[in-house]
Amino acid sequence: MSSYFPCAGHRALHAPTRRQFLYSLGASIGSVAFTSFLSRELQAAPATASPLAPKPGHLPAKAKSCIFLMMEGGPSHIDTFDPKPKLADLHLQEFVREGKMKSAMESGKRYYVQSPFQFAKHGQSGADMADNWTHLARVADDLCFFRGCQVDSVNHPTAMYQMNTGNRFGGDPGIGAWVTYGLGSLNQDLPGFVVLPEVSYPQGGAPNWGNGFLPASFQGTPLRAKGSPILDLTPPVGITPDHQRTNLDLLGQLNRDHAAQHPGHGELAARMDSYELAFRMQMQVPGLIDLEKEDPKLKEMYGLGQDATDAFGRKCLLARKLVEKGVRFVQLYAGTWDSHDYIERAHGNLVRNVDQPIAALLTDLKQRGLLDETLVVWCGEFGRSPDNGVRGGTQYGRDHNPHAMTVWMAGGGVKAGHTIGATDETGDKAVECVHHVRDLHVTLLRLLGLDDNKLTYFHGGRFKQLSQFGGQPISELIA
């Protein structure tokens, strides 16, 4: 570690061989002929390692990569995967919460509200699912439901930061940043950590997938849902690749002359290389994310072309393609699940948007033999309350609840076909197999072959880690 600048990560002070740039082959890129842009996998780190060169984990890995389905806004466990028949009995009876932890949100009269959804048991495992998860129900036995997770914050951005970075206040690296810091990535021409956000960014914004104090190479790269997938990926209209090549050639010439005058200055070569890599990427990336040429049957399976499912279906299909290409960590956003009112309509629509695409993703991964080596995680930033202030007068929703939520996982190394932990009879609090979210983080890392206690980075006077202060893997979730 050459420097501990919090905003800097590593900084090459006197080490001309150290080069840092996002998705790069380090020093070798300029000299190695460009052959298979999107499929090259590195078996070992080259001598002048790029920060994203693959690295062995600390433990045997159960999964190679991770697809993280972030249901931003806080999906209601009570109305999706954790049925509470008791609430039908208590429906519209007054709910009282008093004491120091009361916020303005909880003021006024509050009532228990029942779930508007019907539930049934699915698969051989008998997983509880609300009836509107019609597609996901078919892969119920691939899922491992966890009802014991708790978080600290009742506000969206802070809870999002905690779920994504471990730290409520933002500024820490996202999980994907930690994972690529620990394992590198298998494809050196693509970012190791890709984010597929909603058209509108979530509360808290880009720091949800930031690199925090880790080097910039580990930052999540959003492939934007609309417009240019990466900002300024292509030059303005009218500037063709030939045109740009001519400019690049003059740039190369000026830079080479300059480098000859500054032979000791190693960063110059890295910066020259980054322009060549950028030039190749701008031609290749649009092809990668173009789903038009995919098999129509596959597109249909993901729900492409259907109004409700097209947007998230595209993300799921793209996520599968990215993981297949060796991207280490892909995070998908769907939202907003913040249904304070009219939950029947709101959650009804949201489930319809994601149900078929997620089921298709799991099926597709399985068919390609990728599910075993891919960890799929589904969660929000918190769950929702059994009660509501009946705002709006007629239709019921639910408020934020950091004490109970449902997280499910599938794929590499998880105990599929099980439901772990439980909440109390109204869904207000987790009561069985209760774990702080830090333990969930430790578990995710463990499945990917990383030990949270070893995956540390010295910053701000101490070794920092995803779990903040250490945690325990939740053994019940691991097969």
Partner 1 sequence: MKFLPRLFPALLAVSGLLPVPSALAEDAGALFVRRVWPLFQEKCLACHGKDEAKIKGGLDMRTAEALRQGGDSEEPSVVAGQPEKSALYLSVTRRHADDWEPMPPKENDQLTAEQIAWVKEWIAGGAPWPDDATQKVIAKANADKWSAEDGIIVPTSGGLAPEWTNRRYQPENLWAYRPLQKPAVPTPAADFQNPIDAFLTAKMPAGVTPAPLADRRTLLRRATFDLLGLPPTPEEVAAFLADPAADDAAFAEVIERLLAAPHYGEKWGQHWLDVVRYADSSGFANDYVRGNAWRYRDYVIRAFNADKPYDQFIREQIAGDELAGDASQPSELLIATGFLRMGPWELTGMEVAKIARQRFLDDVTNSVGETFLAHSLQCARCHDHKFDPVPTRDYYGFQAVFATTQLSERPAPFLPVENIRGFEERKYLEQRHRHYLAMLQRLDEKSLTAAGSWFVEKKIDRAAWDEAVAAARQQQGGTKKRRAFNGVFNSARTAMQKRGVPENQYPPKLHGFAPEDFGHERIARKGLERLKWENDRYEPYAFAVYAGRTPNLQSVYQPLRPPADALKAGELEETAILTGGDPFAAAAKVTPAVLSAANTLGAPELADSKLPEAIEGRRAALAEWIASPKNPLTARVMVNRIWLWHFGTALAGNPNNFGGTGKKPTHPELLDWLAATFVEKGWSVKALHRAIMNSAAYRRASAHPEPQQLAEKDPNGTSYAVFQPRRLTAEEMRDSMLQVSGELNPTLGGIPVRPEMNLEAALQPRQVMGTFAEAWQPNPRPEQRHRRSIYALRIRGQLDPFYEVFNAPSPDLSCEGRDASTVTPQAFSLFNSQASYDRALAFAARLLKETINREGAITRAFQLVYARAPRPAELASCLQHWDAMTARHQTLTFAPPQIPREVVREAVEENTGEKFTFTEPLEVAADFVPDLKPATAPPETRGLAEVCLVLLNSNEFAYLY
Residues 277-336 contacting partner 1, CB under 8 A? 277-279, 281-282, 335-336
From candidates 112, 133, 145, 213, binder to partner 1 by CB under 8 A: 213
- How far apart are CB 231 and partner 1 at their closest, in Å? 5
By CB under 8 A, residue 91 contacts partner 1: no
CA nearest neighbour of 128 among 117, 138, 140: 140
> Which position among 166, 182, 192, 207 is part of the footprint of partner 1 (CB under 8 A)?
207
- Over the window 340 to 359, marking each residue x when it contacts partner 1 by CB under 8 A and - when it does not, the resulting string is xxx--xxxxxx--x------
Distances (CA, A) of 433 to 166, 341, 417, 428: 20, 30, 17, 15
Candidate residues 54, 57, 204, 421; the one interacting with partner 1 per rule CB under 8 A:
204
Three-class SS state of 285? helix
Beta strands in 218-276 (DSSP E): 221-222
Q: Which is nearer to partner 1, 6 or 305 (CB)?
A: 6
434 binds partner 1 (CB under 8 A): no
Nearer to partner 1, 268 or 375 (CB): 268
Select 411 or 457, whichever has its Cβ closest to partner 1. Answer: 457
Sites for partner 1 among residues 95-154 (CB under 8 A): 100-105, 154
Identify the bridge partners of residue 430 per DSSP, sorted by sequence position: 423
380 Cβ neighbours under 8 A, 6+ residues apart: 70, 71, 72, 73, 74, 75, 163, 337, 405
Q: How far is CA 329 from the centre of its chain?
A: 7
As given in the structure block, the two tokens for residue 338 are 């913040």
Q: Smallest gap, in angstroms, from Cβ of residue 215 to partner 1?
A: 6
Should residue 267 be labelled a site residue for partner 1 when binding is judged by CB under 8 A?
A: yes
Which position among 227, 295, 296, 297 is part of the footprint of partner 1 (CB under 8 A)?
227
Residue with tokens 């101490």: 462
Interface stretch with partner 1, choices 85-93, 132-140, 166-174, 319-327 (CB under 8 A):
166-174
Would strands 374-379 and 407-411 be described as parallel, antiparallel, or unpaired? antiparallel
Q: Does 259 participate in binding partner 1 (rule CB under 8 A)?
A: yes
Handedness of CA 147, 149, 152, 157 (dihedral sign): negative
Site membership for partner 1, residue 93 (CB under 8 A): no
For residues 357 and 340, what is the distance between their CA atoms, to the nearest angstrom?
25
Beta bridge partners of 130: 119
Q: Is 260 in the site for partner 1 (CB under 8 A)?
A: no
Longest dimension (CA), the chain: 82
Q: Is 232 in the site for partner 1 (CB under 8 A)?
A: yes
| Footprint of partner 1 on 24-53 (CB under 8 A) | 24
